[in-house]
Amino acid sequence: MLSFVFAVSIIVGLVQAQPPAPDASCFQPTAVTAEDCCKIPKPIDNAIMEKCRAENPKPGQMPAPGVPRTEGCCIVQCAMMETGGFVNNALNTDAIKRSMASTLGADPNFGSLVNGAVDTCARQIQNDPAYSVAPISSSPDRAGCSFIPQGFVNCLYTALF
């Protein structure tokens, strides 16, 4: 009798310990994006980004996963050159701070953090020899794009967001 009560207790415990069925509403398609839910200010003006996207269309074929990139992001390099933040293969922190004062710096949540993040990321990227590797263009009609601007922007997003 005792073993029967013990067995029933174990079965009841196992049944009660099962997690509830998943909420089906979590798996319904939605048109809402993360961008809609969390309005993160952009570090570079949209007009500049659109101009640079038009001048630097995406390559027809992206490198396969695991294949090392031979150059940085040309769109980011273009945008930083347009704002004066990337000149002669080097970051210009004063120009970056001036440019960002009207975008991220105008946001009360990020304004006080921008200058410190710019200085920290510029120092980190400029001192890392991996970013100074000479780029090899994926297109014969233009020079290769530096790894420095994309590395800087990635660092900045990590520091601020």
CATH number (domain holding residue 101)? 1.10.238.270
Q: State residue 147's pLDDT score.
A: 92
- On whether the CB atoms of residues 72 and 150 are closer than 8 A, the answer is yes
Whether residue 8 has pLDDT greater than 70: no
Average of per-residue pLDDT across 135-149: 83
Q: pLDDT, tens digit, for every residue of 73-123?
A: 889 999 999 999 999 999 999 999 888 888 777 777 777 788 899 999 999
On whether residue 45 sits in a domain, the answer given is: no
Q: State residue 122's pLDDT score.
A: 95
Q: Give me 131's structure tokens.
A: 């970013």
On whether residue 110 sits in a domain, the answer given is: yes
Q: State residue 15's pLDDT score.
A: 66
Domain with 103 in it: 71-160
Count of domains forming the chain = 1
On whether residue 131 sits in a domain, the answer given is: yes
Average pLDDT, the chain: 82
Reported confidence tier of residue 14, pLDDT bands at 50, 70, 90: low
On whether residue 49 sits in a domain, the answer given is: no
Reported confidence tier of residue 56, pLDDT bands at 50, 70, 90: confident
Q: State residue 52's pLDDT score.
A: 92
Average of per-residue pLDDT across 27-36: 72
- On whether the CB atoms of residues 145 and 74 are closer than 8 A, the answer is yes
SS3 track for the chain:
CHHHHHHHHHHHHHHHHCCCCCCHHHHCCCCCCHHHHCCCCCCCCHHHHHHHHHHCCCCCCCCCCCCCCCCCCHHHHHHHHHCCCEECCEECHHHHHHHHHCCHHHCCCCHHHHHHHHHHHHHHHHCCHHHHCCCCCCCCCCCCCCCHHHHHHHHHHHHHC
pTM of the predicted structure, to 2 decimals: 0.70
- 108 phi-psi bin (left φ>0, alpha ψ -120 to 50, beta other): alpha
On whether residue 48 sits in a domain, the answer given is: no
Specify the range with the lowest mean pLDDT, choosing from 5-9, 55-59, 76-80: 5-9
